[in-house]
Chain A
């Protein structure tokens, strides 16, 4: 047996973002002891930590760099995603400051958990080893179970946490069994070695490898909420506190998708003949069930949950593309999606007040007359989620569909465009309620400068990326 870890492969600079953020997460936890009643200070310390993490993502030059026996990779994909994670976590923390005050969430560890969760996402996005992927997924998941149930006395929050926990743990079982079978078939857990082995010799037709890949598909399917493993998403999204829902819909999902991309598109392209059909089917089902499910919803958070399921359907096309075009479209889609989702949730949080979150879509009737600016912002986000030009959602979809077309997935793209049209129905429903119905209730908005800042940032991002996508696109394509 050879030594497990060669000393020269221990490269601490390559994991600088993980180290920086871990230190800050622990620091926030300690600071909580001295912070007193108001936790706003912790939020700002967390944001400074995220900023430092984003900077430290550039610590390594000459990419790609492999360290820790090739189990940790710093490449273009991981650096881009570290930036997306820090952006989305910072936005989540910003929209939660006001919300936590209002809903009496006095737990300082909230911010610490968000940071730890981000550490997990960074590990997940940078790992090229099955063990590391498992570790990353578990760091993310365990933090999210707690975050979903952070309102301890709230029945819905409890239920969301329990459902998320049980199904998440169940999915982990499948994921691990798949990983164990893959290890059994190839004799290594390293993705790079597995890819080399598949390329060079005859493990291609090894049945264990294929069963392992299918089980991994199930495990990842749960984590990214693709059909038929999406059942937890609407309940958990509805029951979790709104900032946590927004956080869950962007960061952890993006991280799981990167790992998905790394395992299937980068490691197993040689045996794509059998998983490609499966993934195409999953992608189509995810789009249809997500969109049809969203049409029937009356609760805005459930609607967004189903809509996020359908967006996963589109994003899975990026995994099917299997090359740098796929990873570039994945990066661009997640950036625009982060802006849209945090914009929508910032508005949802503004529209609620203590003890009454105002989550029914009917409650939005007449918003366009009472508060035209906020209604306009909501309209922009909804149209962008639906994929109308000239907004960011359109460019992101166009880019991903174009990439899939170039790889010859004509039918899939046609179905995706059709689904995009279906999705407009429920996004427009919200707009119709805001502008064409009489108000059914009083609006008592809780507008704070920080939440307004998030909405403004999201609006700028959504419009900017829609009209001038080139800077980010060329960055993603590098």
Chain B
């Protein structure tokens, strides 16, 4: 297992996350795709941390997890309010603002 292995795996997960975000129309699934992207970053950071023998990467990964949790809380609250007013969750139909 070398640097390349970690890099390739994390890049693959990151691309899956990006593709999921761009293709799916449900905000919940889009949020999960973003989480996938963040997890690929965590994987990369922890991998490099063990190769480079510095702890910065692992600290960074812990902070990312914490912040991601906070972000998800706010995101779910926003999605919930949208669902309450509209009773559906397709991002293609949420288009009052345009021009």
Closest-by-CB residue of B relative to A148 is: B78
Q: Contact at A173–B97, with CB atoms within 8 Å? A: no
Q: Contact at A189–B74, with CB atoms within 8 Å? A: no
Q: Contact at A180–B41, with CB atoms within 8 Å? A: yes
Bound complex: CA A169 to CA B41 (Å): 13
* Residues on A with beta carbons closer than 8 Å to the beta carbon of B30: 166
Please tell me if B9 contacts chain A, counting CB pairs below 8 Å. no
Please tell me if A397 contacts chain B, counting CB pairs below 8 Å. no
Q: Contact at B78–A302, with CB atoms within 8 Å? A: no
Q: Contact at A173–B31, with CB atoms within 8 Å? A: no
Closest-by-CB residue of B relative to A299 is: B99
Closest-by-CB residue of A relative to B70 is: A142
Bound complex: CA A161 to CA B97 (Å): 12
* Residues on A with beta carbons closer than 8 Å to the beta carbon of B88: none
Q: How far is the CB of B73 from chain A (nearest CB, A)?
A: 9
Please provide the chain A residues from 131 to 175 with a CB less than 8 Å away from any CB of chain B in the complex: 131, 134-135, 138, 141-142, 145-146, 149, 152-153, 155-156, 158-163, 165-166, 169-170, 172-173
Interface size class of A (residues with CB under 8 A): 35 or more
Please tell me if B87 contacts chain A, counting CB pairs below 8 Å. no
Q: B59-92: contact bitstring with A at CB < 8 Å (1 yes, 0 no)?
A: 1100110010011001101110110011000010
Contact partner of A183 (CB less than 8 A), chosen from B57, B70, B74, is B57
Q: B40-56: contact bitstring with A at CB < 8 Å (1 yes, 0 no)?
A: 11001100100011111
* Residues on A with beta carbons closer than 8 Å to the beta carbon of B31: 166, 169
* Residues on A with beta carbons closer than 8 Å to the beta carbon of B70: 138, 142
* Residues on A with beta carbons closer than 8 Å to the beta carbon of B63: 131, 134-135
Interface SS majority for chain A: helix
* Residues on A with beta carbons closer than 8 Å to the beta carbon of B1: none
Bound complex: CA A145 to CA B31 (Å): 14
Q: How far is the CB of B95 from chain A (nearest CB, A)?
A: 8
Q: Contact at A170–B34, with CB atoms within 8 Å? A: yes
What is the count of residue pairs linking A and B with beta-carbon distances less than 8 angstroms?
Answer: 134
Q: Contact at A166–B74, with CB atoms within 8 Å? A: no
* Residues on A with beta carbons closer than 8 Å to the beta carbon of B40: 177
Q: Contact at A145–B45, with CB atoms within 8 Å? A: no
Bound complex: CA A188 to CA B54 (Å): 8
Closest-by-CB residue of B relative to A138 is: B67
Bound complex: CA A14 to CA B8 (Å): 41
Bound complex: CA A152 to CA B77 (Å): 10
User: Contacts A177-B37, A177-B41: A142 and B81 contacting too (C-beta < 8 A)?
Assistant: no
Bound complex: CA A165 to CA B28 (Å): 12
Q: Contact at A134–B64, with CB atoms within 8 Å? A: yes
Please tell me if A184 contacts chain B, counting CB pairs below 8 Å. yes
Please tell me if A109 contacts chain B, counting CB pairs below 8 Å. no
Q: Contact at B27–A162, with CB atoms within 8 Å? A: yes
Q: A180-208: contact bitstring with B at CB < 8 Å (1 yes, 0 no)?
A: 11011001110000000000000000000
Q: Contact at A173–B71, with CB atoms within 8 Å? A: no
Q: Contact at B81–A158, with CB atoms within 8 Å? A: yes
Bound complex: CA A409 to CA B20 (Å): 40
Q: Contact at A161–B44, with CB atoms within 8 Å? A: no
Contact partner of B14 (CB less than 8 A), chosen from A135, A153, A169, A173, is A173
Of the A-B pairs whose beta carbons lie under 8 Å apart in the complex, a sample of 16, sorted by A's number, is A4-B56, A134-B63, A145-B78, A153-B85, A159-B96, A163-B94, A166-B91, A169-B31, A172-B34, A172-B38, A173-B41, A176-B64, A180-B57, A189-B56, A239-B96, A297-B99
**3 interchain residue pairs of minimum CB distance:** A173-B37, A235-B97, A184-B48
- Give the B-binding residues of A (Cβ under 8 A): 1, 4, 130-131, 134-135, 138, 141-142, 145-146, 149, 152-153, 155-156, 158-163, 165-166, 169-170, 172-173, 176-177, 179-181, 183-184, 187-189, 234-235, 238-239, 296-299, 302
